[in-house]
Amino acid sequence: MNIIAEQPRAKPRKGRKYDQVLDGAREVFLLSGFEGASVDDIARAAGVSKATLYSYFPDKRLMFTAMAERECSRQASAALQVIDMTAPPALVLRQTAGRLIRIILSDFSQRIFRVCVAESDRFPELGQAFYDSGPALGRARIADYLRQAKARGEVAIEDFELAADQFAELCKADLWARAVFGIQNRFSDEEIDRVIEGAVTTFLARYGMRD
Amino acid sequence: MNIIAEQPRAKPRKGRKYDQVLDGAREVFLLSGFEGASVDDIARAAGVSKATLYSYFPDKRLMFTAMAERECSRQASAALQVIDMTAPPALVLRQTAGRLIRIILSDFSQRIFRVCVAESDRFPELGQAFYDSGPALGRARIADYLRQAKARGEVAIEDFELAADQFAELCKADLWARAVFGIQNRFSDEEIDRVIEGAVTTFLARYGMRD
DNA sequence: TCGAAACTGAACCAATCGGTTTAAACTGAG
DNA sequence: CTCAGTTTAAACCGATTGGTTCAGTTTCGA
C-alpha cells in the first residue's frame, strides 16, 4: 500500500517473532537464572511454540547469550545519560549521583546484575559484557567530565579513572547492598538524599577547589 | 582409653560424616549454584553415598541452607579482624582497607557472594544472613572505631554509619567489579595500593582533622 | 488467490533430576 | 564376639529436562 519503498528492516533474520522470543527469554531467565529456567516456560512466556523457539536459536545457551547481550546494550544506552559538561561539579555530581542511584536500585538492573554475576563463569563473556556496558561506561563518562572540570580549574585530580570509580562507589553506600540482597526494595527520598549528599560532599572534600 | 570423661561433642546430630557432607555441599553449590548442583555430584564430592546424604538432610533445600549458614558464619569470624582502637586513623584505615580488600577479592568470598546474590529470592533469609555476617558486621566495627577516634578529636564525623559505609565502598573501587565479573582474578600490590591510598586520602580529606 | 515460509501444538525421545528403598557391609562400645 | 547403629552401592521411581519431529494451520507478499 505504501508508495514509498519498504525499508529492508534491519535483520529480521528469519521471522517476525524474534523480539517476542527474546522478551520471553528475558522474563524467565532474569527471574530464574539459566539453570532454573525451563525452555517450556520461556516458550509460554513468549507466547510462542517451542518449535518456533528452536527455529530461532539452536539451543538454550545461545538463547541466553542473545538475550543477555541485548539487555546489556540496553543498559548501556540507559547509562549514556546526558551530562552538562559545562556545569559546576557540585551540580553535576549531585545530578549524576541521583541518576546513578536510581539506575542501580531499579528492579531491572538488579535482576540483570544477579544473572550476570551468577552465570559469569558458565558464560565467561557475560561478565565482560556487563562490565563494559555498565560500570566501565559510566566511569568513562564521569572521567570525561572531570577532565573538563579540571581544565576549568574546578577540581584537582590526578587519577581521573580512580576518582570516577570512587564517586560511583560512594553513591552505592549501603543502599545497593540492601537492595541486592533483597533486604529492602523501596527507598525513601530521605534515604537517597542522605547518600547523595554524603557522596558529593566527600568527593568534593578531596577533589574540589576551595573557592 | 581416656581416663578423663569424654566431652559430649557438640551436636554430632547423627553420624560422624556431617562436616564431610557439608564440605561436599559447599564445593558443589559454590561452584554451580543451587539449581546447577546435582545431589549425585554432592554425594560424590563429599565421598559419601546418596543415602547418607539424605539421612542428614531431608531434602536439597535444607542441605543448601545449612551449608550457606555455616559459610556465612565463617565469613563473619573472618570479618572480625582485630582493630587497634587506639591507633591514629591514617594507620588504622590503611590497615583495615588492606584486610578488607584482601577479603573481598578472595576466591571464597567471591563464590559465596555469587551464590547468595543469585539465590536470594529463592531463599529470602539467605541475603539477610550474608548481609549481616559481612557488610553490616564490617560497618559496625569500623563505625565503632570512628566513634572512639572522634572522642579523641582525631576525626570530625556526624553520621558514623554512613562514613563507615563510604570507606568500605571506597576500598572496592573497580577492583571488586573486575573480580566479581571474572575479568581479573590476580591483582598486583601496585593495583591494590593505589586503591588503598586513594580510599584513605579521600576519606580523611572529608573526615580528618587537619593537625 | 495462490504458494512458500513461518508458526503451531502435541507427541515423542533419551537423559537427568530429586528422592526412596533394600540388602549387605562396616563400625565401635560393651 | 555381639549387636545396634551407620554407611554403602545400586537399583529404582515418577517427574522434568533440553531438544526433535511432524502434520496441519496461519500469514503475507506477489
Record: contact B202-A166, CB cut-off 8 A: yes
Q: What is the pLDDT of residues B124-142, one digit of tens each?
A: 999 999 999 999 999 999 9
- Residue B81: which pLDDT band, with cuts at 50, 70 and 90? confident
CA to C1' distance (Å), from B41 to C29: 34
Q: Report which of residues 112-141 in chain A place their beta carbon less than 7 angstroms from any atom of strand C.
A: none
Asked if B168 and B138 touch (Cβ cutoff 8 Å), the reply is yes
Q: Give me the mean pLDDT over the B157-179 stretch.
A: 98
Residues B32 and B45: their CA atoms lie apart, in Å, by 13
Residues A103 and A97: their CA atoms lie apart, in Å, by 10
A36 touches strand C (CB under 7 A): no
**CATH code of the region A73-207:** 1.10.357.10
Record: contact B118-A33, CB cut-off 8 A: yes
User: How high is the pLDDT of residue B15?
Assistant: 67
Residues B8 and A53: their CA atoms lie apart, in Å, by 59
Residue partners of B113: CB distance under 8 A and separation at least 6: A117, B130, B180
Q: Which residues of B touch A146 (CB under 8 A)?
A: none
Q: Lowest-pLDDT range, A107-111, A186-190, B151-155?
A: A107-111
Residues A167 and A149: their CA atoms lie apart, in Å, by 15
User: How high is the pLDDT of residue A16?
Assistant: 84
Q: How far is A98 from chain B (nearest CA, A)?
A: 16
Nearest by CB to B173, which of A118, A169, A173? A169
- Residue B16: which pLDDT band, with cuts at 50, 70 and 90? confident
User: How high is the pLDDT of residue A211?
Assistant: 58
Specify the nucleotide whose C1' lies closest to residue A1 (CA).
D29
Q: Give me the mean pLDDT over the A61-79 stretch.
A: 89
Residue B6 has pLDDT above 70, yes or no: no
A50 touches strand C (CB under 7 A): yes
Residue nearest to nucleotide D7 (CA to C1'): B52
Whole-number average pLDDT of chain B: 90
Q: Give me the mean pLDDT over the B158-169 stretch.
A: 98
Residue in A closest to B180 by C-alpha: A117
Q: What is the pLDDT of residues B56-77, one digit of tens each?
A: 999 999 999 999 999 998 888 8
Residue ranges covered by each domain of chain A: 18-58, 73-207
The fraction of chain A above a pLDDT of 70, given in percent, is: 92
Q: Give me the mean pLDDT over the A25-36 stretch.
A: 94
- Residue B95: which pLDDT band, with cuts at 50, 70 and 90? very high
Pick among B60, B166, B195, B200 to test the A interface (most A CBs inside 10 A)? B166
Residue A207 has pLDDT above 90, yes or no: yes
Whats the size of chain B, residue-wise?
211
Q: How far is B95 from chain A (nearest CA, A)?
A: 19
Q: What is the pLDDT of residues A99-126, one digit of tens each?
A: 999 999 999 999 999 999 999 988 989 9
Phi-psi region of A13 (alpha: psi -120 to 50; beta: other; left: phi over 0): left
Q: How far is B85 from chain A (nearest CA, A)?
A: 24
- Give me the CATH topology for the region B18-57: Arc Repressor Mutant, subunit A (1.10.10)
- Residue A11: which pLDDT band, with cuts at 50, 70 and 90? very low
Q: How far is B46 from chain A (nearest CA, A)?
A: 22
User: How high is the pLDDT of residue B14?
Assistant: 61
A187 touches strand D (CB under 7 A): no
Residue nearest to nucleotide C21 (CA to C1'): B51
Q: What is the pLDDT of residues B189-199, one digit of tens each?
A: 999 999 999 99
Q: What is the pLDDT of residues B26-35, one digit of tens each?
A: 999 999 999 9
- Taking one residue from A and the other from B, the number of pairs with CB-CB distance under 8 angstroms is 126
Q: Which residues of B touch A112 (CB under 8 A)?
A: none
Q: Give me the mean pLDDT over the A160-179 stretch.
A: 98
Residue in A closest to B115 by C-alpha: A118
A151 touches strand C (CB under 7 A): no
User: How high is the pLDDT of residue A78?
Assistant: 78
- Residue A137: which pLDDT band, with cuts at 50, 70 and 90? very high
Q: Report which of residues 13-32 in chain B place their beta carbon less than 7 angstroms from any atom of strand D.
A: 14-17
Residues A146 and A158: their CA atoms lie apart, in Å, by 10
Asked if A57 and A63 touch (Cβ cutoff 8 Å), the reply is yes
Q: Give me the mean pLDDT over the A162-175 stretch.
A: 98
Whole-number average pLDDT of chain A: 90
- Residue A75: which pLDDT band, with cuts at 50, 70 and 90? confident
- Please tell me the CATH superfamily of domain A18-58, with its number: Homeodomain-like (1.10.10.60)
Q: Which residues of A touch B120 (CB under 8 A)?
A: 114, 180-182
Q: Give me the mean pLDDT over the A146-164 stretch.
A: 98
User: How high is the pLDDT of residue B211?
Assistant: 58
Asked if B199 and B171 touch (Cβ cutoff 8 Å), the reply is yes
- Residue A169: which pLDDT band, with cuts at 50, 70 and 90? very high
